[in-house]
Amino acid sequence: MKTLPVVVAALLLAAAPARAQVREAEVTGGKVAGVAGSNGIVAFKGIPFAAAPVGPLRWKAPQPLKPWTGTLGARTFAPACVQDLTLPRAFSAPLDLSEDCLHLNVWTPARTAGDKLPVMVWIYGGGFIGGQTSAPIYEGSRLAEKGVVLVSVAYRVGAFGFLAHPELSKESGKGSGNFGLQDQIAGLKWVKANIAKFGGDADRVTIFGESAGGIAVSMLAASPAAKGFFQRAISESGGSFGRPKFTNEGGVNVLPLQVAEAGGKAFLEKLGARDIAAARALGADAIQKGVAPGLAATTQFWPVFDGDVLPGDQYELYQAGRFNDTPVLIGTNSDEGALFIQGKVTPAQFEGAVRGGYGKGADAILAAYPHATDAEALASARNLMRESTFAWHTWAWAMLQSDNGKSKAFVYYYDHRTPQQPNGAGHGSEIAYVFRTVGEPGSTIGAPATPARPVDTTMSELMSSYWTNFARTGDPNRAGLPQWPAFTPADQRVLFFDDTQSGARPVPNIDQIKALDAYYAWRRDEAKTKAR
């Protein structure tokens, strides 16, 4: 097996750009003109893909856009969708916000419109309450240098993207609460119809995202509404395979429609709006002021099991073979929980939280997570957050794909450590390595950016090569790279990304994952009993 320094020179050579020639395109709505960068990549920014969801179109599925006249100079990012400014600041992104935000961006290295290059469509994270395409670490030209057409799609977040309400469900006839996911699907439809104009192959599309973006990728993989619009899927710290959340059950987030609608009614009451018409008459700032601060907003607004976009429990959908069967590349980071759980955690606090959320599964979970001291309790609180939010869902996804699909699953464990994160790789820390934007503002998510070290550049070249190989063929492997075996129930190896010898090894936290697996099985049985 070759070590990272041995392969980096070849990876850098593979990234050498061709001189792009696609500078204008006729797309849905009209003509757009891009801007060529010094590296030969042409960027088209701020292309509208749906009508502005404002006024009577607020809380509606994305609607067809009105054509424009002349040529749209697609030179700058459109404003981000309305949200709290915490995330844009953490990512050093522009602070411009608007409800008129359904725009996407394209970076292409194509020399002709007929090049038929693989396409990668990025879905940003942000807990479904924030996020934007304009963050510097999402700048797409450096990843596009590796021979892919890169697209990033904006979608509504928070109250604007995920409000469920009985009136909205009646209005649509198909439930409510998943407008942000419908935006993503509308973006994929735009890609299907238009990406060939930019030298992309509409039949070789990879969706990829991180955190809420990775969760969204898993939801699209189970959504009949997204069928046929992508042929591969990459989820970084994502997955959503828990049963519906009715109250405060640990490790699950997706509400059934009736519970979400009750929350929507309470939200309108908080706004002082008697009905949806009154709420649509309010300004965007008034709506945003009703959203809970910080991460608390994720308990208000999250995708919903609406019976349409999300038909139901994804675990059971996969068991029944009702999913979009594509190759998947999925994984988690070694220290995901540190971003979310900070400060002191005592053994009593940890045990109380587990018993309060995990019911009959609490004893097995407590046995799997040492918590005799404050230090152990803090570490276990962070690790339980990692497993219950990301790692179990990733493992379950890989198991279900391997058992019920024809396509392969490739799983990774990211443990690249830096001076800023010496104890493990934090949540989102892999993004800049995938995009080849290490050292850009916001690349350490809230901490000051630092220049890339040689070991960082090596890791970035390795990851971006695997990602683009996967987009090209559905398999991340290529001559000269450490072999990445497909994950199967009989061979549960994952690709470790670390600084000594990246390669395939057993799942590192399997005992904790199995304790959670028994818990989730019990929760699914409990949900069936409630349904009966």
Task: Encode pLDDT of 208-245 as tens digits.
Answer: 999 999 999 999 999 999 999 999 999 999 999 999 99
Strand duo 24-27 + 30-33: pairing: antiparallel
Position 33 scores a pLDDT of: 98
Q: What's at 106, amino acid-wise?
A: V
Position 1 scores a pLDDT of: 36
The model's confidence at residue 19, banded by pLDDT at 50, 70 and 90, is low
In the chain, where the domains are located: 4-10+31-531
Among 17-31, 42-56, 85-99, the range scoring the smallest mean pLDDT is 17-31
The model's confidence at residue 296, banded by pLDDT at 50, 70 and 90, is confident
Asked whether the beta carbons of 433 and 463 are under 8 A apart, the reply is: yes
Asked whether the beta carbons of 184 and 220 are under 8 A apart, the reply is: yes
Q: Is the pLDDT of residue 386 over 60?
A: yes
Position 3 scores a pLDDT of: 43
Position 489 scores a pLDDT of: 96
Q: Regarding predicted confidence, which is higher, 308 or 297?
A: 308
CATH architecture of 4-10+31-531: 3-Layer(aba) Sandwich (3.40)
Q: What is the pLDDT of residues 321-336, one digit of tens each?
A: 999 999 999 999 999 9
Position 501 scores a pLDDT of: 78
What distances in angstroms separate CA 386 from CA 181, 189, 383, 390, one per listed residue?
24, 33, 5, 6
- Rounded to an integer, the average pLDDT of 341-361 is 96
Q: What is the pLDDT of residues 153-197, one digit of tens each?
A: 999 999 999 999 999 999 999 999 999 999 999 999 999 999 999
- 279 alpha carbon, distance to own chain's centre: 29
Token readout for 357 is 């959320």
Q: What is the pLDDT of residues 387-425, one digit of tens each?
A: 999 999 999 999 999 999 999 999 999 999 999 899 999
Q: Regarding predicted confidence, which is higher, 529 or 252?
A: 252
What dihedral do alpha carbons 305, 309, 314, 318 form, nearest 10°? 150
The model's confidence at residue 7, banded by pLDDT at 50, 70 and 90, is very low
What is the distance in angstroms between the CA of the first residue and the CA of the last residue of the chain? 54
Asked whether the beta carbons of 496 and 219 are under 8 A apart, the reply is: no
Average pLDDT taken over every residue of the chain: 94
- Rounded to an integer, the average pLDDT of 444-455 is 83
Active site (catalytic) residues: 211, 336, 427
Position 20 scores a pLDDT of: 59
Q: What is the pLDDT of residues 267-284, one digit of tens each?
A: 999 999 999 999 999 999
- Rounded to an integer, the average pLDDT of 109-137 is 97
Q: Is the pLDDT of residue 4 over 60?
A: no
Three-class secondary structure of residue 394 per DSSP: helix
pTM of the model: 0.95
Q: Is the pLDDT of residue 6 over 60?
A: no
Position 13 scores a pLDDT of: 40
* 512-516 long-range Cβ contacts below 8 angstroms, 24+ apart: 512/368, 512/369, 512/383, 512/384, 512/387, 512/391, 513/387, 513/391, 513/392, 513/395, 515/361, 515/364, 515/365, 515/367, 515/368, 516/251, 516/361, 516/365, 516/387, 516/388, 516/392
Asked whether the beta carbons of 263 and 273 are under 8 A apart, the reply is: no
Contacts of 321 by beta carbon, 8 Å cutoff, 6+ apart: 404
Position 441 scores a pLDDT of: 87
Q: Is the pLDDT of residue 447 over 50?
A: yes
Q: How long, in residues, is the chain?
A: 532
Position 527 scores a pLDDT of: 82
The model's confidence at residue 16, banded by pLDDT at 50, 70 and 90, is very low
